[in-house]
Structures are given as C-alpha cells and as structure tokens.
Amino acid sequence: MRYKYKLSFSVLMISSFLVQPTSAVESESRRLTRATQVRNGEEERKNLELIARLFKNNITIGYGDVELVENGKTSVGSTVKKGGMQIVTRGGIALEAKVVGGQQFVHEEPNIDLTRVLRRSNAYNSTVTGGDGVVGQQNVYDAGGAWYTKVGKNGEQNLYAGQRKEGGRAMGTEVSENGRQHVLALGESVETTLRDQAVQVVYPRGLVNTLTITDYARSWLHVGVKDVVGAVRVNGGGELYLFAGDGTNHTTKKNIPLEGKPAEIIFEVGERNIQHKPQIKIEDLGGQDGTVIFSSIPYDPRHISLYVQKLSGDLHFRFNINATGDHNSDYLLIDNGSGNHKVSVTDSGREITDALSQRNSLVGGVNLITDRSEGEGANFTLADLSGRAITAVDGGTYQYRLEKRTRCADSSGHSKIWYLIRATENTERSSAEVQCVNKKTKDSVALSADMGTQSEQGSSSVGEKVRTPRSFKKHPPKKRPPRHLREAQNVSSVSVSSSQENQTRVVLPPSVSHLLSGDKQQMAVSASSRVLADQMTLRPSNQKQPSPQLSEMLSGSQFLTTPSTDAVLSMSVAPAMVFHNEMQSVRSGRGILDHSKKNTALWSYAIKAKESIATGHIDFKLDQTGIVLGINGLSEWENGEFYIGGFGSYDHARIAHARGGTSGINSYGIGAYVTYLDRSGWYLDALLKYNHYQNTLKAVSTNGLGIEGSYKQWAVGTSFEAGYRLQTSKSSWLQPYGQFTWLQVEGKEIKLSNDMRGDIRPFTSLRSEVGLSLGYEFGSGMASSSQAYITAAWMRENKDDNQTVINERHAFTSDLSGNAGKLGIGLSSFVSEKLKLYGEAHYVKGRKTKQSLQGIIGVRYHF
C-alpha cells in the first residue's frame, strides 16, 4: 500500500474561514447545542465553495491507495474509489471529497487533549455513494466531524466512538435514494434530512438533534438512544420507528473469586430486564402525514413508552397491544399537544385486556395516550394501517373503539387519557367531556369489596355467559333499567385519583354532574358512592405510570364481537348443517317413497344445497355440492320386504361469512341403512352415517386483514323414520311420516392465524320432523311409468345448549333450536325396466333458518 501526502495551503488562511463556525458547535466542553445556534450557515457554505474553487486538486484514490490528511493539512476535491481510503486526522481538513465505493475516515488521535488544539479533524461537503458493486462509506468517530455530507445511492455515513469517550458528529447531512446513516453509541447526528428511500438507524447511546424525514424515508430509534432534542418532523410517507431491540446482544467479563484458588474468569450474556418498560424521549415531534411506528423484535416483543414534550401537526401513530405482562401496550405521553392525529392498532385475535376484568365481565379499557396539555390538547382518531378512518379494531373476542376521558388530579394536574374500550351495539364515540371539580378537601369514597357473582345466560340466541355483581343488601336496586343500559350510547367517563392520604375521588360524567353544583355536587358524590361501587370497578391512579382503566359491568350480549369470533361460531354449526343435508338426500336417493321391489339396486345422485343461517353471532350462507353412491339389496319376508344397503359420499361446502371471508368444508362420508316395508302399508327406516371433515376457516378482520385456520373433525349420526302409505286410488297415495335425527360433531380446539383460539365443544343436534306426502303415478303398470309427489312437513331443532369458548375466556352458546316449515316436490320416472331417473327439491323456512333450498338429481339401476 502506498501513501499519498498532499501539499496544503496555509493553516492560518483556512482557519480564518472555518474556526469560528466550528467552535460555535464545539463550545461548552463539547456539549451538544441546537442546530439553530450555528450562525452564518449560508455564508459558511459560500466560503467553502470559494476555497474549493481556488485549491481543488482532483486527486483520484484507487484500489490500494491511501490519502492521509493530517497535521492541519487540507485536501480538496479528492475522489475515493473502490478499495481506496482517505484518512483525515490530527486536525486535517477534507473539502468536497467524492467517495465512490471507497472509504473516508475522519477522527482524532485517542491521546490528544482537544482543549489545546486549534481545530479538530473535519470533512466538508463530501458526497458518498457506492461504486463498482460496493458500498461507499464515510466513517466519523472519536471527535471527528462531517459537515454538509450528501449520502446517495449505496452510500452510508457511520457516526460512532472508537478509543475516545467522544464519538463522531455530522452536521447538516442529507441522505437520499437508498443511502443510510448509522448513529452508534456516542455518535451525534445534527440537522439531518432523509429523503426518498433513505434509512437512518440510531443505536443505544446515539444522539439525534433535529431530524427531517420526507418521501418514503425511514428512521429507526433504538431504545436507549439519548434524549432526542430539536425538532423532529415526519412528513409525507416518512416513517419514524421506535424500536425495542434485543437486550442480550453483548457479553460481560467477570472474575469469580474462589477460596484457595485463582479467580475464575467467565463471560456472561447481558440479562434481559423483563420488568423494565423501554422509553424514548423526543423534545419536539411533528409533521404532516408522517407515521410513527412502535416496533420490537418478534421473538422478544416489548412495548415502548414515548415521551414527547411538544407534539404538533398531523401524524399517524401505530401501537402494539397484547394482554400479557405488566406493560401490555405501547404508550404516548405528551406535555403539550396540538393537531389532529391518527391512532392504529393492528387487528388481533388475542385478548387485549387482562383476564381478571374479563372473568368478572368488566369493560376493561387499554390506555394508549396521556395528554397533559392545557386546553383542548391534541385530537386523536382511530385509523387502519393505511390511515383510513375506522370506528373499531379487533381485540380478541370483541371489538374496541377509541375514547377519551379526563383525569383530574390536583397534585400532577389535569390530563386527557385516550384509551380503547369494548364497542357496544349501536354506539359511537362519545363527545362528552368530564369536567373536573375543584375541591379544597377530598371526600373518601367507601367501596365495598363484597361483590358476589352469578352466571347469567345472554338473551340472544348466541350469547356469552357473563358474570354480574350481586346487589348490596342495604341498597336494593331501584325499579329502573340498569345504568349500563341507560348509558349504552354514552359510556360513562370515570376519573380516579389518589391523595397523599390514599383517599379516592370520583368525578361524575356530564350527564349527572351538570345537574348539580357546588356543595350539592360533593354531597351527590358521597351519597352515590355505594351505587357506583355496585356498577363499576375504580382503581387509584399511578402518576408515574398512568394506567387507570375504565371498567363497567355490561351484559356480554351487548358487546360487538369480532369477525373472527363470528367465523369460529359459524364454523361450529356448519358441519352439522352439511350432515343434515346429506342425510335428507340419502333418504330421497334410496327411493323410500317409490317402494321399488327390485332385488338389487345401484344408485347415485348429485346434491346441491343453499342455506342461510342468521341468529345472534352466527350469520353465514352455505353452498353445498356433492355426490353420493349407494347400493342395496332386497330380502323377502312373510309380511313385507326388508332392504339393507350402504353408501359413500363426498361434499364440498362453501361458507360465506356475513362479515367477510369464505370458509370451506370437504366432507367424506360412509353409511348404512335398513328399511322394512310391510304389505299393510307401514314402513320403518333406520340410517347410520359417519363423516370426516377437512375444514378451512377463512375470514376478514374488521380492518381487512386475512384470517385463516385449518383443522379436521368427525361426526356420527343416525335417523329413524316411521310412516304409513295409504293407497287412496289405483294411481294415487297418501303417506304421513315422522322422523327423528341425532348427530354429534367432534369437539375441536383450533388456533387461527391472528392468534385467536377457539374451543369448539362437541356439537349435538336432535331434530324431529312430521310430514305428509301426496303422490300420483302416471302410467301405472307400464314399464315406463312416472311418479310425482309433494311433501309438506314441520321440523324442529331441539338442542339449544351447544357451546364454543373463545380464547379460553368467553363461552358462547349456539342456539339453533326452533321450528321451521318444509315444502318439497319430487319426480321419478323409469326410462326402461331397469333404469330410473329421479329428482327432488325442498324449501325450508324458519326463524333462524332464513331460507334453505336443496335439490338432488340422480339415477337408479335395478339388477
């Protein structure tokens, strides 16, 4: 490797241009000052351009070459290509260097006392891009500086510390295209602009002062960065990521003393502090249409608390939520907020509120934002990931909406808390605000803990089993609707604060408090405390970590379930619907109604069924197509005929969910049957059937995310039918009948792609049917005779207690019981003495079965 030493012009001359603006940033013992304190920036640029024009060298540093700029020397206009290197150290200056796939290093010696040097090593107006398939680098470390660097395609700027306790600093860097800026420990990025698809990564102990993100650029702030000062602006499609990385990515050397032996040296991996909630602080955050994203490593998910002193503009915040651990959501704390912002929470099948409140049927809220601004503060609305306004998000079993309440605290000041709460039917976001009551003394509220619970079945046909509080003996409930029903469209806002004496204060919502004033208000609060205790759970607030969660007692049937919940409940009953349709078709295909007396018959038919079910949380349309192949033989008895046969079937069913998505069921079945026809007209029929299901659940979340899950089930069922055929004339007949059908579908525990878990308990159906058929035979006694008939019947489903449990917490009862009417028509005709064609169609209408249309067409061959 050879070294190129360049002649330089007078240090005094260059100093007259550069010393003053440099010291403006390096004053106060290198403590970082705001970028706005750097004076005469435009004048400085002009001076640099003048110097570059007068002393430009145009030196090219190729593969294996090194340019060393040291001892106050200056290099102007050098080009550093692939394999080349420029080192600027010991007070050296580099102007307008072009790094094209090469490397530029700017640093100071580790042992130099920087307080005694005239100036430090700096690079001005460098451009950094890739070249010849490699990345170009500008590396600034150990008190080195870079001014007005432009990082372009395949270029990167690295700011870090080497042997000194002071890292490199970059002022006024512009990163564009796919360029990158890495700010490592002790590195300092000042007044950086990110454009196009540029990326900035700020690692723990790195510092950012003033940042602008535009276009589709991204900045990643790792937890552990120094407090972000200056203005951070996220505009357009720009994204600011708050990243909780892996906390175990380092090792530590330890000496373990041993008695009577030399100390043992070990190396241990950094320990994760699972109780610590990561935090990032930003002094001034704003922008137009930019996005702030809370993120972490998937294998170690953690939530971040973002503290913003000043918030403005129009930003989109993406939060993450789960129900595990002490810190179950990302959090935003604001001192002074303004503007209109969006909040997104990804739809999830996991529960986002804790199990305790859900076991007690409490409406648990999830706090997301605390705004301590005076006045109105910032406004937040719920949006999907694209920024489109929405009304609710999926949070496990139920949907949640965004609400705001006011927290009143004399010690820490009033604040507005934005939180997610379960959405109820026919409710919208409440615009009511809680008015804080200023009181000199705080009246304690006695909340009794003696709250028993009892099970209560929901009123809807598919209802959740919930637990409701027992009324206090001293205060029996008044004869009026419960509070949660009276205020179903305006969920009460509750604020609780703790004084130094651990006293609790309740602030009533405007619907109550605006009717009272002064001392009457205080009296009302004390008098109503026991009633409030009977209807809601109040938790003292924690000023350090604001986490009071609004909780109310509501019936489970009032909450809006998520599409994935409804899809699981629908799929819990769909296999039984498929089974019933197959059994009805087998009855028709066997030819019970035509009373054939051929010895052996081979039969087959195609099935088509359309069914619409709507009851409670079950709402879907079933479209079933299948084929059945069977054979039977005849045995003559003294007073009648005895038929025995078997069959196999295949069906495919499409389940179109009312809230989006189409699930599928592939059904494979085998069965056997026996029929006895007595010569007096009586007949008995019995059937046994087994099905194997391959189920694929596909649904769409509230905000358009796909949900999938696959699982298998089996089912077994039987039916028994008895009837009597009355020959009214030579060609006509009348046949009343009664039928019982029982089936059971295997229970199954399933998990969906959105992490929802469903425990589908064994589904049982017991259906009864009573009907009458009227038939007429054309060409009686002829080889090509035909027969037509109509059937009218009354059907009833008798089981109403099938259950499905969602996420091991919420039990829903699937109730398809009820009456339905059935009307059918059929036609069969002998094409020849042995070959017969037939078809049949049925229409069913009931309260829960909106409509059901089933048709078959088949062929029967007699041996």
Q: How many CB atoms lie within 10 A of CB 360?
A: 17
**pLDDT at 184 (0 to 100):** 96
Residues 656 and 775 in one domain: yes
- 733, 840: one domain: yes
What average pLDDT does the structure give for the chain? 79
Residue 179 within a domain: no
Q: Identify whether residues 29 and 114 lie together within a single domain.
A: yes
Number of domains in the chain: 3
Residue after which a domain boundary falls, among 171, 194, 217: 171
Check whether residue 519 and residue 596 sit in a common domain: no
**pLDDT tens digits along 291-344:** 999 998 888 788 899 999 999 999 999 999 876 555 578 999 999 999 999 999
Structural domain includes residue 279: no
**CA distances in angstroms from 439 to 373, 408, 514, 538, listed in the order given:** 21, 11, 16, 20
**Closest residue by Cα to residue 698 from 666, 665, 668, 745:** 665
Query: What pLDDT digit, counting tens, does each position of 583-627 carry?
Result: 988 877 665 555 555 578 899 999 999 999 998 899 999 999 999
Can you tell me the distance from the alpha carbon of 312 to that of 234, in angstroms, rounded to the nearest whole number? 11
Given pLDDT bands bounded at 50, 70 and 90, which one contains residue 737? very high
Q: Is residue 357 part of a domain?
A: no
First to last CA, the chain: 98
Same domain, yes or no: 532 and 603 = no
Residues 547 and 609 in one domain: no
Per-residue pLDDT at 487 exceeds 80? no
Is 838 a member of any domain?
yes
Query: Which one-letter DSSP state was computed for residue 37?
Result: G
| Residue 707 φ then ψ, to 5° | -130, 130
Contact (Cβ atoms closer than 8 angstroms) between residue 651 and residue 686: no
Q: Residue 259 burial (CB < 10 Å; 0-12/13-18/19+)?
A: exposed
- Do both 546 and 610 map to the same domain? no
pTM for the full predicted model: 0.76
Q: Which of 109, 95, 136 is nearest to 8 (CA)?
A: 95
Q: Are residues 538 and 587 in the same domain?
A: no
| 166 and 117 in a common domain | yes
Domain boundary residue, one of 171, 194, 218: 171
CA–CA gap between residue 106 and residue 87 (Å, rounded): 6
Better-scored residue on pLDDT, 185 or 34 = 185
Residue 716 is which amino acid?
V
> Does the residue 264 lie in any domain?
no
Does pLDDT of 782 surpass 80?
no
204-250 pLDDT, tens digit per residue, is 999 999 999 999 999 999 999 999 999 999 999 999 999 987 766 56
Write the pLDDT tens digit of every residue in 405-444: 988 766 667 899 999 999 987 655 554 455 564 544 434 3
Give mean pLDDT, residues 340-368. 78
pLDDT of residue 76: 92
Same domain, 643 and 786: yes
Domain membership of residue 520 (yes or no) is: yes
Q: What is the CATH number of the domain that holds 677?
A: 2.40.128.130
**Whether residue 548 is found in the same domain as residue 571:** no
Whole-angstrom distance, CA of residue 560 vs CA of residue 550: 18
475 part of a folded domain: yes
Which has more confidence, 63 or 471?
63
Note the pLDDT of residue 424. Answer: 87
- Euclidean distance between CA atoms 441 and 522, whole angstroms: 10
551 domain-assigned: yes
In this prediction, residue 30 has a pLDDT band, given cuts at 50, 70 and 90, of very low
| Percentage of the chain exceeding pLDDT 70 | 73
Measure the CA–CA gap between 188 and 157, rounded to whole angstroms: 11
Least confident of 455-459, 803-807, 854-858: 455-459
Q: Which domain holds residue 513?
A: 457-558
Question: Quick check: 645 pLDDT over 70?
Answer: yes
Higher pLDDT, residue 222 or 834: 222
| 654-702 per-position pLDDT tens digit | 999 999 999 999 999 999 999 999 989 899 999 999 999 999 999 999 9
Do 519 and 595 belong to one domain? no
| Domain termination site, one of 520, 541, 558 | 558
User: What pLDDT, on the 0 to 100 scale, is given for residue 536?
Assistant: 31
In the chain, helix, strand, coil percent, each to 5? 10, 50, 40
